[in-house]
Amino acid sequence: EPEVTQTPSHQVTQMGQEVILRCVPISNHLYFYWYRQILGQKVEFLVSFYNNEISEKSEIFDDQFSVERPDGSNFTLKIRSTKLEDSAMYFCASSGGRGGTQEYFGPGTRLTVL
């Protein structure tokens, strides 16, 4: 069964540093998403991406965040200058279509900001 993959599984960084989290969505999917989950809290939407542009973003997704699909297979989340409160699990997801089709989640990247 096809699956979403994410690398690295765990990223440790110093406050103020830039990080790039990588995702390979399912190959024939068209919609891509990033979510985050702070330890012990619920999963929160960050951004959705379709047709090489952001479709929707939450208030969490401020100017420090950016997303990119640099080639036909990867989907990245960049945090320009990490803060302590960015420590969380970051999940990538993809779906084949808009509204009503199943989203498949990756295993997540645990980001620890020191």
Partner 1 sequence: GESVGLHLPTLSVQEGDNSIINCAYSNSASDYFIWYKQESGKGPQFIIDIRSNMDKRQGQRVTVLLNKTVKHLSLQIAATQPGDSAVYFCAEITSGSARQLTFGSGTQLTVLP
Q: Which of residues 63-92 bind partner 1 (CB under 8 A)?
A: 85, 91
Q: Which of residues 33-62 bind partner 1 (CB under 8 A)?
A: 33, 35, 38-45, 48, 50, 55-56, 58
Tokens of 62: 């401020």
Residues across the chain:
114
Residue type, 10: H
- Integer Cα distance of 22 and 83 in angstroms: 19
Q: By CB under 8 A, is residue 100 in contact with partner 1?
A: yes
H or E element at residue 51:
none
For partner 1, the binding residues (CB under 8 A) are 4, 31, 33, 35, 38-45, 48, 50, 55-56, 58, 85, 91, 93, 95, 98-108
